[in-house]
Amino acid sequence: MLERYVYKNQQKMRCGYTTGTCACAAAKAAAQMLLSGRKTDKVKVMTPSGVSLLLDVEDISMKDTQVSCAIRKDSGDDPDVTNGIYVYAKVSYAEVSYAEAYYDKRQNEQKNDKRIIVDGGKGVGRITKKGLSRPVGAAAINPVPLKMIEAGVMEAAEDYCYDGGLLVVISVPDGEEIAKKTFNPNLGITGGISILGTTGIVEPMSEQALIDTIRTEVSMHVAEGEKMLLAAPGNYGQDFLLNTLNIELKRSIKCSNYIGDTIDIVCASGAEGMLLVGHIGKLVKLGAGIMNTHSRIADGRMEVLTTCAVQAGAKPDVLRQLPGCVTTDAALEILKKSDMLEAVMEQLMIRIENVLERRSAGSIKIAAIVFSNEYGILGKTKLADELLEKIKAVSYTHLTLPTKLEV
C-alpha cells in the first residue's frame, strides 16, 4: 500500500497509483520473468512524478514463449471506479520484422530501439475519433503510460542482454463494463477503459483529471471539424439540450463546474466560438465573476440576484426576501409573483455576457443561454441565437472504425 498523503478540505487522504503505473509494472514483471525464466512476486517501478513503488505481482502464468501477470490497482482514497481492478500484461517474443511492420503502419508514432510493441487487449478501449492523444484505431493507452511501459520492458531487456523484439499486450478483464461508468463513450473510445496517468500517482479528489477530460473532449470536437462548440455544466443542461433545444448530447461538452477552464481551453483549441447552456443555479454565479461554480468554492447566487433586482428597480419588499432564499427556484418564484422576473434576468444576462467576454478576451465568439426547469429559457446573451443556429446547422458525423489493429 502506498503511504503517501495529501490534505484536501481539512482531511488527510491517501494517494494511489494509476492504471498506467499498473500496466508498466505488470509489463516489466512479465518481461523479467520471460527473459530470466524465474518467477518474481514483486516489481519496482519509478513513476514520472519521481515516486518509486514496489508492487505485488499477481496471477502469474509462465510459458516458454510468453508470460502474463497482473497488478491490482490501488486508487487510495480517491473515489475511482477503477479501484481494485486487475491490470494484466502479457509479454511474448516477437520477430523484429513483425515489429518493423507494426511501426511502419503507424508512422506518426515513435519507434523504440528494442522494437517493443505495446498494444491493448480485452478491456482496453480503442480510439475511433480524431483529436485524442493517439491515432484512430490505436489502443487507448495514453502517451505517458505508453512510454512507461516501453521503458520498463526495455529495462528488463537490457538487464538480460536481450536485443530482439517483444510484444506487450495490456488487458483489463472488467474494463468493458467499467468503461460504461467513465467518459470513454463520449470520447469515442470503445470496448474498454483507457490506460491513464501523467504522473503515475493518483491524488485524491484531483481536479486536474476532470480538466484534462474537458480538454480531450474539446480537441475531439475540433478534430471533427466543429468550429462552434457547445458546453453544458451538468445533467440538467444536457437534458435541456436534448429535450428543449433538440440537440444530440454527443454534440455537447460536459464542462462540470470548470467554466473558466473550459473557456480557456476552447480559446486555445482553434475553435471559433462557444455556447454555454446551463441551469440558473450554476450560471447565476457567473454574474459575480465566479468561474468555478462548485458550492465549496463560492456561492453568491442570492447576492447576484439581489443586485440584479436592485438594478431592475424591484421594490424593497422583494429585495428583502431574496437574500433569505435557499434555492434559485425559490428566488425565481418571488420575482415571478412580483412581475420582476424578465427585468431581473435581463440584468443578469448583461453581467454574464460581460464576464464571458472578459474571460475569452476576444479570442472567440461566446454566448450563454440560462434556463430553469420551471420556467424554461430565462435569458440569452446577444450572440446566443447566432451561435445556436450555427451549431444546429452542422451535421455531426460519427466515425465507425475497426476495433482491432492488424499488421
pLDDT tens profile 113-132: 558 999 999 999 999 988 88
**pLDDT greater than 50 at residue 404:** no
Looking at the chain, how many residues does it have? 407
**pLDDT greater than 60 at residue 268:** yes
Kind plus residue range of the DSSP H or E element containing 296: none
**pLDDT greater than 60 at residue 363:** yes
Contact between 175 and 22 under an 8 Å Cβ cutoff? The reply is: no
Kind plus residue range of the DSSP H or E element containing 368: strand 365-372
Quote the percentage of the chain above a pLDDT of 90. Answer: 69
- Cell numbers describing residue 102: 507494426
Domains present along the chain, CATH in parentheses: 5-202 (3.30.2110.10), 208-393 (no CATH)
At 234, the pLDDT band (50, 70, 90 cuts) reads confident
- Cell numbers describing residue 303: 447576492
Average pLDDT of span 299-327: 96
Per-residue pLDDT at 209: 76
Per-residue pLDDT at 112: 53
At 7, the pLDDT band (50, 70, 90 cuts) reads low
Q: What count of other Cβ atoms lies within 10 Å of the Cβ of residue 303?
A: 15
At 205, the pLDDT band (50, 70, 90 cuts) reads low
**pLDDT greater than 90 at residue 348:** yes
Mean pLDDT check: name the lowest of 114-118, 166-170, 278-282, 286-290. 114-118
- Cell numbers describing residue 213: 477530460
Greater confidence (9 vs 396) lies with 9
Per-residue pLDDT at 397: 43
Nearest to 7 by CA among 201, 283, 205: 205
Q: What count of other Cβ atoms lies within 10 Å of the Cβ of residue 382?
A: 10
pLDDT tens profile 293-308: 988 788 999 999 999 9
Average pLDDT of span 261-285: 96
- Between the alpha carbon of residue 338 and those of residues 80, 319, 325, 330, 331, the distances in Å are 47, 11, 15, 13, 11
Average pLDDT of span 357-383: 96
**pLDDT greater than 80 at residue 369:** yes
- Between the alpha carbon of residue 385 and those of residues 10, 191, 364, 368, the distances in Å are 44, 38, 16, 9
- Cell numbers describing residue 230: 457547445
